[in-house]
């Protein structure tokens, strides 16, 4: 059986910066209120007319990752695209990436696991490489949240959190000690509606939405029970990180860098304290980008690598929790 490793990384975020002060001018909120609850100072939003979309941001990140992996786009055997905000209801964004990159033909899979999407996508790619079916897999996490948020006081509890952006990784067959050691995936569907967007959907389609009173019931905007999500997140993060460490006979002292999904700085700080990790062993960038869901881990991993915080031989832990509820971890040796 083969092993896979991350051979190239890339990221892209829109140029348009939206600060907490900007949001305070369109809804009843403040910089202090947002930072106290989330740690976020600013985020990036697609600006109409800037040419960006979920897939196109993914392409921009992917081109950088492919170049850094020192392979040609035609060496890509499979595309795995993680997002909750695809360009279209269908088809998926993976095929759009394949077309825009100019790859004549290759399989493309879309993963819909929201905040855990990139971990799930990495796991899928890892299995295909392990079996020998594919040699180079392009994994993308990309989100266009701003196109579907309620940017009013009514929606502030959710809308102040999320930003747009994309991250990408090229996974290739490993020929040295650098490899993905293991991935661990979980879900608990009994909480599926606690962080969700119920409609439009085939169970609640456009005519029903139009017929409803939009001031009373707004199913086409995201809903989140923030306290419940936080409560479950801190538990599941800890469990799945320990699961990954135990599977590889590692201890918390062996972690060189933890990159958690950037959901809320307070969650990351809670986990950091629980595992007794110093600031230089945890990477956070939610302050600058907000929660970019499936894109958050690849953006953060790319930045950490660019800043020299990921070194050969390091044990890197990636972990995520989100809608579904779903959660997962990836333990890798750089």
Positions annotated as catalytic residues are: 115, 261, 291
Return the bridge partners of 9, or none.
169
Q: Checking DSSP bridges between strand 136-143 and strand 108-111, what pairing results, if any?
A: unpaired
Q: Checking DSSP bridges between strand 78-82 and strand 108-111, what pairing results, if any?
A: parallel
Tokens at 155, concatenated: 């929606």
Apex 110 CA angle, 105 and 111, nearest 5: 150
Residue pair 299/13 in contact by the 8 Å Cβ criterion: yes
User: What is the spatial distance between Cα 228 and Cα 202, in angstroms, rounded to a whole number?
Assistant: 27
Residue pair 322/116 in contact by the 8 Å Cβ criterion: yes
């Amino acid at each position: 059986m083969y092993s896979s490793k991350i051979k190239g990384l890339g990221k892209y975020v829109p140029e348009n910066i939206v600060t907490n002060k900007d949001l305070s001018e369109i809804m009843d909120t403040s910089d202090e209120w947002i930072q106290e609850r989330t740690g976020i100072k600013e985020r990036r939003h697609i600006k109409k007319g800037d040419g960006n979309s979920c897939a196109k941001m993914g392409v921009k990140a992917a081109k950088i990752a492919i170049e850094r992996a020192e392979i040609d786009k035609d060496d890509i055997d499979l595309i795995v695209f993680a997002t909750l905000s695809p360009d279209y209801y269908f088809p998926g964004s993976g095929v759009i990436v394949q077309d825009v990159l100019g790859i004549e033909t290759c399989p493309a899979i879309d993963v819909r696991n929201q905040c855990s999407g990139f971990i799930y996508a990495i796991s899928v790619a890892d299995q295909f490489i392990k079996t020998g079916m594919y040699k180079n897999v392009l994994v993308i996490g990309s989100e266009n949240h701003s196109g579907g948020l309620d940017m009013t006081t009514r929606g502030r509890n959710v809308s102040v959190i999320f930003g747009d952006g994309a991250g990408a990784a090229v996974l290739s067959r490993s020929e040295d000690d650098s490899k993905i050691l293991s991935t661990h995936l979980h879900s608990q569907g009994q909480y599926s509606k606690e962080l969700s967007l119920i409609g439009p959907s085939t169970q609640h389609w456009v005519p029903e939405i139009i017929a409803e009173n939009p001031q009373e019931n707004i199913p086409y905007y995201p809903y989140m029970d923030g306290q419940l999500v936080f409560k479950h997140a801190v538990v599941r993060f800890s469990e799945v990180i320990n699961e990954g460490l135990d599977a590889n006979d590692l201890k918390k002292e062996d972690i060189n860098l933890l990159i958690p999904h950037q959901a809320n700085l307070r969650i990351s700080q809670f986990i950091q304290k629980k595992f007794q990790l110093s600031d230089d062993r945890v990477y956070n960038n939610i302050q600058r980008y907000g929660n970019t869901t499936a894109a958050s881990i690849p953006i953060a991993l790319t930045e950490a690598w660019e800043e020299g915080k990921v070194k050969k031989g390091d044990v890197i832990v990636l972990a995520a929790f989100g809608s579904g509820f779903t959660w997962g971890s990836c333990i890798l040796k750089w």
